Amino acid sequence: MNVFTSKNLQALPSRERATLINAISGIRSANLIATRGDAGTNLSVFNSVTHLGSSPALLGMVFRPLSVERHTYSNIKNYKDFTINAITTAMVPKAHQTSAKYPEGVSEFDAVGFQPLFREETHVPFVEGSPIQVLCTYSQEHVLENQCILLTASIKAIWIDERGLSKDHFVNHEQLQTVGIGGLDAYYTTRLEGRYAYAKPDQPTTKINQV
């Protein structure tokens, strides 16, 4: 095993340190966040969208420090509604390209070639073709010790491709071909290893057959 103490880590070139630290927490979700601002629509890839609670339904995401313009963040602050759209294998190259720093007046939808999808429920776009589309609205924000911002959002509505939805509302990411992200540049396909019944101390581990 290689060992990195906090001192070793500090001595690494900053890019390599970021590459390592970004990846050690494992594979993270891969989503496109779509917003609307005064200059038009905006679309950016995010790997920090995470489940925070289901009652009320709450998601969170982490924004980098506000030392430069953050269009997604400022659009959410100004307009409240935004959408989270799962990325599939077929969407990866274009989704990755949304991380480029386009000027405020340029919509990443046009720049990378995603089709915006508008619904009557909101003024913000969804990403056409994404199998999981979530309409969210700003709830709170918390500044972390490194000046990153944890933004929390309530879920207003969810659209899911029925091919990945079971009768018990289990969402099968393998069927939907959604991907995960390692670090900031590695995209992984998903494969279901299995589902397991609720674990109890006095019962054997049980695999659920139905998916």
Ligand X SMILES: Cc1cc2nc3c(=O)[nH]c(=O)nc-3n(C[C@H](O)[C@H](O)[C@H](O)COP(=O)(O)O)c2cc1C
Binding residues for ligand X (CB under 6 A): 42, 44-48, 61-64, 69-72, 96, 99, 101, 181, 184
| Helix boundaries (H) for 84-172 | 92-97, 108-112
Alpha-carbon distances of 31 from 152, 179, 199, rounded to whole Å: 15, 9, 30
Please, which residue, 149 or 165, has the CB nearer to ligand X?
Answer: 149
Q: Is the dihedral of CA 23, 149, 71, 91 positive or negative?
A: positive
Within a 10 A sphere around the Cβ of 34, how many other Cβ atoms? 29
- CB-count burial class (<10 Å; 0-12, 13-18, 19+) for 26: exposed
**67: alpha, beta or left, given left = phi > 0 and alpha = psi -120 to 50?**
alpha
Please, which residue, 98 or 133, has the CB nearer to ligand X?
Answer: 98
- Cβ of residue 128: shortest distance to ligand X, in angstroms? 19
Query: 131 with 178: CB under 8 angstroms?
Result: yes
- Cβ of residue 108: shortest distance to ligand X, in angstroms? 7
Please, which residue, 70 or 195, has the CB nearer to ligand X?
Answer: 70
Query: 69 with 39: CB under 8 angstroms?
Result: no
Please, which residue, 51 or 64, has the CB nearer to ligand X?
Answer: 64
- Cβ of residue 207: shortest distance to ligand X, in angstroms? 32
- Cβ of residue 54: shortest distance to ligand X, in angstroms? 21
Please, which residue, 75 or 122, has the CB nearer to ligand X?
Answer: 75
- Cβ of residue 154: shortest distance to ligand X, in angstroms? 19
